[in-house]
Structure 1
Amino acid sequence: MSAGSVSASLIRCLIPAARRITARTPVGTKSRARGGTRQMATAGKLVSGREGRPTVVCVEGNIASGKTTCLEYFSRISDIEVLPEPISNWRNVRGHNPLALMYQDPERWAITLQTYVQLTMLKQHLSASLAPVRMMERSIFSAKHIFVENLFRSGKMPEVDHAVLSEWFDWITANISLPVDLIVYLQTSPETCHERLKRRCREEEKVIPLEYLQSIHQLYEDWLLRQTLAPLLVIPADHDLQGMLRQYEEHREQILTPRHPS
């Protein structure tokens, strides 16, 4: 699916709806980044309408940084909803594998995959939940700020494709409320990620070079230092499995009950 498949009539329906909600939506939702606090206005945002939304924790990190292990650890805790990246969807879109196509020929297929990633991550953010805590593997924000940006900066995504994806992302984040209460960053060296990649042997990842992981690592470092989306918890993640499990247990309360600014 691509941005072009959404009809003009749908856009015309969405915009008036956003305006109607603007007239009755209060301002004042707060968000805090490392080193400061700012007010995030919710006016003008399309919202789900559910009361008592769950605490949203996004687990971020490079490829093979240990995100799956982190989610598996917390999935054993009751009253936690865990949402892994919808990789199976990216591997099979009506019989097509855009994830593999993108790795094989990013200049041709990056826009196809990343448009679909943006859609599927948006669905993850907006899906209904009865659990008090939702833990997501990555987010629509890192899809744009890390992976789309890397494709563009490396010359593998044409400027027009980047512009189209950016327009979609900007409209989504300006008009749809996508709250995040905490970002957990599994800070892992590119070399460690590369070794883990070779051990887990996923078919699409066999072509990923160390240089790609280095680029993704630097983009994460740059984005998370300046983002104002949510509080940030950095967990060193070069440890072995037992070491990482100890880290998760040590930070368990901090992750499941993030503190909000007063």
Structure 2
Amino acid sequence: MSAVGCRVTSLFSRVFARCTVSPAAAGVGGLNERITSRAGRVPLVQSRARSGACHLATGKLVRNGEEKKAVICIEGNIASGKTTCLNYFSETTNIEVLTEPVSKWRNVRGHNPLALMYEDPERWGITLQTYVQLTMLDRHLSTISSPVRMMERSIFSAKYIFVENLFRSGKMPEVDYTVLSEWFDWITTNISIPVDLIVYLQTSPETCHERLKQRCREEEKVIPLEYLESIHQLYEDWLIKQTSSPLPAPVLVIPADHDLQKMLHQYEENRDKILSASYL
């Protein structure tokens, strides 16, 4: 078995070791509706089809014996300011912050599938995205140590945004896309992945491109503006227009084209709405 295969097998073992089978309960479906938060002008997109632990399909796997805690996912384009947002809230008591496991994507026993994907997405897209899907599931299912968990992105955006973009751009063969989709559908059908709120940092592709050039990460040097435009459109279709994929939770939209001080001010303004996610 290859080094990557060994790491994947090990992660699968840890993921499923943390799961138990839930008692039967009726699932809830429904339409999405747009509502406005009373606490301010920032738009809030509400979904009736919640993924919380109260509505589980028969036999769905859940984390072992955990009480309900709030899970907030910070979503947005590359260089939209997710790290800044997470750093800001990490200083708040009783919040657990989980960043994307980028270090794992850069080093799977000496291999860098993230860099390989950017260099040759048609060859390495499924390799990276399979590992992204697994490591994000590992993040979702890990034991929550605080009343509120704040995550950088989610298993949902991994599929709805980045896998979808590879396929639509013609850089992922249909067979690879089908395999990843089958895996994702099985995971979300059989494993409970509660999300209480999505915070969408809405940025223009141009702003993201400028920020990318300033932070100079090695793997990101090859990312063109067109790629960021595609990711932006997929996010808009999913979280704003709601015309592509299901929403796993309500969405709080924060305009994020501003400088650091303005963004910190916006996070403070929206603190109460973000941290009351478990009551939405």
Check whether TM > 0.5: yes
Match of 1:26 in 2: 25
Q: Is the 8 A contact 2:47 2:249 kept in 1?
A: no
Deviation, 1:260, is 3.8
Residues 1:112 and 1:135: Cα distance change in structure 2 (over 3 Å)? same
Deviation, 1:130, is 2.0
Instruction: After superposition, give the CA deviation of every residue in 1:15-70 in whole Å (9 maximum; x if it has no partner).
Output: xxx9x946x23336799954255355412311113232320000000000000000
Q: Does 2:233 correspond to 1:218?
A: yes
Q: Is the 8 A contact 1:32 1:231 kept in 2?
A: no
SS class of match (2:231): helix
Match of 1:168 in 2: 183
Match of 1:147 in 2: 162
Deviation, 1:228, is 2.8
| Equivalent of 1:38 in 48, 52, 74 | 48
Structure 2 counterparts to residues 36-75 of structure 1, below 5 A: 38=48, 40=50, 41-44=55-58, 45-75=60-90
Residues 1:33 and 1:182: Cα distance change in structure 2 (over 3 Å)? farther
Identity over aligned pairs, percent:
69
| Equivalent of 2:272 in 240, 253, 260 | 253
Instruction: After superposition, give the CA deviation of every residue in 1:92-121 in whole Å (9 maximum; x if it has no partner).
Output: 000000000000010100000000000000
CA distance in 1, matches of 2:47, 2:87: 31
Residues 1:92 and 1:173: Cα distance change in structure 2 (over 3 Å)? same
Q: Does 2:117 correspond to 1:98?
A: no
Q: Is the 8 A contact 1:34 1:231 kept in 2?
A: no
Q: Is the 8 A contact 1:66 1:186 kept in 2?
A: yes
| Equivalent of 1:236 in 243, 255, 265 | 255
CA distance in 2, matches of 1:81, 1:30: 30
Q: Is the 8 A contact 1:31 1:228 kept in 2?
A: no
Instruction: Kindly tell me the number of residue pairs found equivalent between the two proteins.
Output: 250
Instruction: After superposition, give the CA deviation of every residue in 1:161-206 in whole Å (9 maximum; x if it has no partner).
Output: 0000000000000000000000000000000000000000000000
CA distance in 2, matches of 1:39, 1:163: 24
Structure 1: stretches of 5+ with no match in the other structure: none
Instruction: After superposition, give the CA deviation of every residue in 1:118-149 in whole Å (9 maximum; x if it has no partner).
Output: 00000000000120000000000000000000
CA distance in 2, matches of 1:29, 1:246: 37
Q: Is the 8 A contact 2:47 2:250 kept in 1?
A: no
Q: Is the 8 A contact 2:49 2:248 kept in 1?
A: no
| Equivalent of 1:123 in 115, 131, 138 | 138
CA distance in 1, matches of 2:174, 2:49: 33
Q: Is the 8 A contact 2:113 2:128 kept in 1?
A: yes
| Equivalent of 1:107 in 122, 135, 143 | 122
Q: Which runs of 4 or more aligned residues in structure 1 lie more than 6 Å from their structure 2 counterparts after TM superposition?
A: 29-32
Residues 1:103 and 1:139: Cα distance change in structure 2 (over 3 Å)? same
The CA RMSD measured in Å over matched residues stands at 2.4
SS class of match (2:208): helix
